[in-house]
Amino acid sequence: MDLIRECIEKYHETMITERRHMHAHPELSGNEYETSAYIQEELSKAGISFDIVPPGKSVIAVIHGKNPGKTILLRSDIDALPVTEATGLPFSSETIGVMHACGHDTHAAIGITVAKVLNSIRDKLHGTAKVVFQEAEEISFGAKHVLESGLIDDADNSLMLHVDVSRPTGVFGTNYGVRSAMTAICKVVVRGKGGHSAFPETTVNPVLIAARIIEAVSEITAYEISRDDFVLISPTEITSGTKNNVIPQTCDITFNARYYDSKFVELIPELISRKAKNIAASSGGEADILFSSHGKPMVNEKDSVDRALSVIERIWGKDMIELTPPGLFADDYAYIQEIIPGVAVTIGAAKEGNTSASHSPTMMPDEAYMDTAARFAAEYMAEYLGFAE
In the predicted model, residues of the chain with pLDDT beneath 70 are: 389
Q: What domains can be seen in the chain, in order of their start residue? A: 2-180+297-385 (3.40.630.10), 182-294 (3.30.70.360)
In this prediction, residue 137 carries a pLDDT of 97
Residue 223 DSSP class: I
**pLDDT tens-digit map of 150-183:** 999 999 999 999 999 999 999 999 999 999 999 9
Helices (H), the chain: 2-24, 33-45, 104-120, 142-149, 206-219, 264-282, 302-315, 333-339, 369-385
- Whether the model clears a pTM of 0.95, i.e. scores above it, the answer is no
State the pLDDT at residue 389: 63
345 backbone dihedrals φ, ψ, rounded to 5°: -130, 135
As beta bridge partners, residue 161 has 345
Q: How far is CA 250 from CA 79, 87, 274, 288, in A?
A: 34, 38, 19, 11
Task: Tell me the C-alpha to C-alpha distance, in Å, between residue 302 and each of 74, 109, 129, 368.
Answer: 17, 28, 21, 29
Are residues 335 and 144 in contact, defined by beta-carbon separation less than 8 angstroms? yes
